[in-house]
Amino acid sequence: MTIQMQNTKPGLTSLSDALEIAFADVPVRSSVEERSLVECYGAVLREDVIATVSVPSVDNSAMDGYALRHVDLMMAKGPIDVVGVSLAGHPYAGSLPTGAAIRIATGAAIPDGADCVVIQENVSANDDETIIEISDEVIGRTTLSQNIRWAGEDIKAGDVVLASGMFLRPQDIAIAAGQGRGALTVSKPLSIAVFSTGDELAKPGDPLPPGGIYDSNRFAMIGMLREIGCKVTDLGLLADDFDVLRNALGSAAKTHDVIMTSGGVSVGKADLLKPVVDQLGEITAWKLAIKPGKPLMRGKIGDCLVIGLPGNPVSVLVSGLLYVMPLLRHVMGAQRSQTEPVRIPVRAGFDFKRGTGRREWLRARLVQNDDGEFEAVAFNSTSSGMLSSMVWAEGLIEIPESCGQVSKGDTVLYLPLRGLQ
Ligand code: AMP
Ligand code: MG
């Protein structure tokens, strides 16, 4: 596969290229399992689900009322006899006699011969509902097929109701249930070992040594991974020590599909992750033309994919959501459309100047301006160390590599955080 490289900063790979390369490089996991339907929420479907039954299975009423023959109704003069009842699960046996009506409930089968339903609110009935009268005005606006749900109008037997490679949402599970499926073929969860690296880090719950900081990244990583249905092993904190890192990565690689770490992938003296992965396996990508998140590293140890995220908390989240989650979704067998974030064009409510040659994301929210229109506002700092900006944000504004500045009123792309997680 040849990949057309985008024009970006020398020495850095653009996000689009980096993802293309990674998709081509890292195989889709073939392992699938039959999983009981109720355990399938959020899983990646790995079969096409073909309808075996039409829905509805029979013509039925959309409303409570009276089933009639339209032509009879047009000619009706005076009261109409109600000769039977059709309830959901208890159809009227027989066909509708000429000039008569059948009392019918929502979801009940339309009796043979009937071709419209007049809702009960538009009918006057005697006490025991054996005789009804319908006004000329109601008759005048009753049409053929009114309030009838025809068999197969929702789903026809043979239709593909769910396509392989989609993440299953409640409505998808529901449609599979509607086809009588008790289990589905889905991807086995990826097993992922997670740890944070850094001598300055303390474990939440422990006392904070002078100059130390609590490890927050591990909790962001675990959350993102759980969100896409991964089986996470929390391996805690690792010191900036070559042997410690080598031992931990070496043994985690034997028992996991993926290792994900934070910190230690830059060019400082204590940034040891690269040399460790280099010794144990190979580095397959390093440094992306993105902001935040530039030093992100991808490598492998045997068959285990290694993702080294930078240490800054915003970098962890942004590069995690925009590079790692799409890649892991691909590895889980998701269709390409399901790996892409949702990008919505919106008006910018801010001015912004830049010149990094990298794709950049601003932490953002949509707010209503004085004219009542929604526009995106950006957080007042682009520092990748400020985790509070991600808590404030409801979305990200994507600034393309080639864009030098944004002025208030320009159209920009907004990526809702909910659509990324
Ligand atoms: P590094 O990439 O290891 O140089 O880390 C970059 C910055 O992120 C430093 O200021 C670190 O203290 C901070 N950092 C690294 N790891 C974590 C973590 N797990 N939680 C919070 N901050 C971190
Ligand atoms: Mg560090």
Q: Please report which ligand is nearest the Cα atom of 213.
A: 1
Atom 16 of ligand 1, nearest CA residue: 311
Which are the contacts of 10, defined by CB distance < 8 A and separation ≥ 6? Answer: none
- Residue in 194, 197, 201 to alter for ligand 1 test, most ligand atoms within 8 A of Cβ: 201
In this predicted structure, what is the pLDDT of residue 172? Answer: 98
Dihedral sign for Cα 59, 64, 66, 71, please: negative
CA of 234 to the centre of ligand 1 (A): 18
CA of 316 to the centre of ligand 1 (A): 9
Q: Please report which ligand is nearest the Cα atom of 218.
A: 1
**Atom of ligand 1 at shortest range from CA of 266:** 2
Atom 14 of ligand 1, nearest CA residue: 311
In this predicted structure, what is the pLDDT of residue 7? Answer: 52
In this predicted structure, what is the pLDDT of residue 3? Answer: 46
CA of 264 to the centre of ligand 2 (A): 4
In this predicted structure, what is the pLDDT of residue 327? Answer: 98
Closest CA to 412 of 376, 374, 369, 371: 376
Q: Please report which ligand is nearest the Cα atom of 312.
A: 1
CA of 331 to the centre of ligand 2 (A): 28
In this predicted structure, what is the pLDDT of residue 106? Answer: 98
Q: Please report which ligand is nearest the Cα atom of 387.
A: 1
**Atom of ligand 1 at shortest range from CA of 197:** 16
CA of 271 to the centre of ligand 2 (A): 6
Dihedral sign for Cα 218, 223, 226, 228, please: negative
CA of 213 to the centre of ligand 1 (A): 9
- Residue in 197, 199, 214, 217 to alter for ligand 1 test, most ligand atoms within 8 A of Cβ: 217
In this predicted structure, what is the pLDDT of residue 9? Answer: 65
In this predicted structure, what is the pLDDT of residue 236? Answer: 98
The answer to whether the CB of 61 falls within 8 A of the CB of 147 is: yes
**Atom of ligand 1 at shortest range from CA of 196:** 19
Q: Please report which ligand is nearest the Cα atom of 215.
A: 1
CA of 204 to the centre of ligand 2 (A): 17
Q: What is the pLDDT along the chain (421 residues), one digit of tens a residue?
A: 444 445 566 779 999 999 999 999 999 998 999 999 999 999 999 999 999 999 999 999 999 999 999 999 999 889 999 999 999 999 999 999 999 999 999 999 999 999 999 999 999 999 999 999 999 999 999 999 999 999 999 999 999 999 999 999 999 999 999 999 999 999 999 999 999 999 999 999 999 999 999 999 999 999 999 999 999 999 999 999 999 999 999 999 999 999 999 999 999 999 999 999 999 999 999 999 999 999 999 999 999 999 999 999 999 999 999 999 999 999 999 999 999 999 999 999 999 998 788 999 999 999 999 999 999 999 999 999 999 999 999 999 999 999 989 999 999 999 999 987 7
Q: Ligand 1: list residues with CB < 6 Å.
A: 196, 198, 200-201, 213, 215-218, 262-264, 266, 268, 310-313
In this predicted structure, what is the pLDDT of residue 357? Answer: 87
